[in-house]
Amino acid sequence: MALRGHLLLRGLLHSTLRNVSVIQTTCNRTPTLVSHVRTITSSHTAFAARRKNDNVDEKTSMTIQGFFSSKEKNKDVFMVACDAFRTRGPQLRGHVEFIYAAMKNMEDFGVHKDLEVYKKILDLMPKGKMIPTNIFQQEFMHYPRQQQCAIDCLEQMELNGVLPDSETEMILRNTFGKHSHPVSKFGRMMYWMPKFKNASPWPIPASPPNDALELAQLAVARMCTVDPSSSVTVLQTNTVEDAIDDTWIVSGQSLTQQKLVEELPVDQPIKVEGPFRIFLRDKLVGYFILRAEARPPPEPIKREVVDDVGSLKFWFTGEVDPEEETNLGRPVSVHEQEDGIILGVCATGTSSRDSLLSWVRLLETTNPNLANIPVLFTQASPIGEVMAIDQLSNKSETATIPT
């Protein structure tokens, strides 16, 4: 965890961050979600002047900038630009400047998480020439600017979560020799990055799907892992009569929650609340919950003498009365919290009040008691108004309560 803190510090002090929305979290939650690439540019190294108001583009020559100034920005164009650089001559003059410019432009071309591209630009360094041949060259960083450039490239890989492979090692070894700083950094990356990559107990795929339905399914399944007996189902609003919206609903409910619904008192209303936010890497899903008022916790057993082992009772001979206050009677499930009992979770395609109504209707098939309980829809939501007033439902059981 120290490394993550260290990375955050570096991020704050050294990188150029543009339009970043970094959510600082404590170490025991999922790591920070950086919605923008962090780039390292040559102006932030020890060997160049540090001028805070420096526009980085002024430091790169126009010819180098010209390699990346095409209108179409994708991986093929990027690779062609790298190949075009090679045609300037076999000595690869200006490769450091080119590599820094390439690193800066990677995100525009959408290749900042692509290992093949990083290998291609690292490959632009001349091989063999920069390997130290005597003890003095080995001791004092031989070709310091080039080594620093390679280190910065590897740093950008690390910040973008790109894991290098053995081919990258070969490129670096052939360029700088086996005891050089870039190869040491590579070694450190290969030590730490695999360990952190899979550290989260609830992993999200590296590139989460773009489709809203799949994202919603992922999100609801993720939230339902808290109870192993839960099931996630995809329902359609068009199966409900009088539904205005035609959209999908992803609903997650467990057997425990179904039992809780059965035991609910019919006179107390339950609420549909939301939309709350859940992030899947950089994608946002809004979800709603069905919440009932919290039940008071079971009272502790009143016993005359606490340690009277002579009065042991267990279920086998029927000595224990189910209504009697024992701890075995009513275990408190994970869904019963201090602020309420969570009876279900859903995400819908439109997040509109009508789709939520359809959700409640569809839940009645597995929770028959739900038909008898009044359901309220809260007006206020964390991200503003959910829908216009003139689209209020006409059902008698629903009512909006100002919060």
- In the complex, the residues that contact another protein under the rule CB under 8 A are 119, 123, 127-129, 131-135, 138, 165-167, 170-171, 173-174, 177-178, 193-199, 201, 203, 228-229, 255, 315, 328-331
Q: Is the dihedral of CA 122, 145, 16, 5 positive or negative?
A: positive
CA 367 to chain centre: 33
Nearer to another protein, 286 or 344 (CB): 344
Write down the least CB distance from residue 293 to another protein, Å. 22
Nearer to another protein, 255 or 380 (CB): 255
Nearer to another protein, 177 or 252 (CB): 177
* C-alpha distances out from residue 403 to 271, 341, 353, 390, Å: 12, 19, 16, 19
In 3D, which of 58, 144, 149, 148 has the Cα closest to residue 100? 149
Write down the least CB distance from residue 124 to another protein, Å. 12
CB–CB of 362/251 below 8 Å? yes
Nearer to another protein, 201 or 310 (CB): 201
Write down the least CB distance from residue 212 to another protein, Å. 27
Nearer to another protein, 51 or 195 (CB): 195
User: How many CB atoms lie under 10 A from the CB of residue 77?
Assistant: 15
CB–CB of 249/346 below 8 Å? yes
Write down the least CB distance from residue 127 to another protein, Å. 5
Write down the least CB distance from residue 168 to another protein, Å. 9
Nearer to another protein, 37 or 125 (CB): 125
Beta bridge partners of 400: 377
What are the φ and ψ backbone dihedral angles of 262, each rounded to 5 degrees? -60, -35
Write down the least CB distance from residue 260 to another protein, Å. 12
Query: 153 by DSSP, 3-state: which?
Result: helix
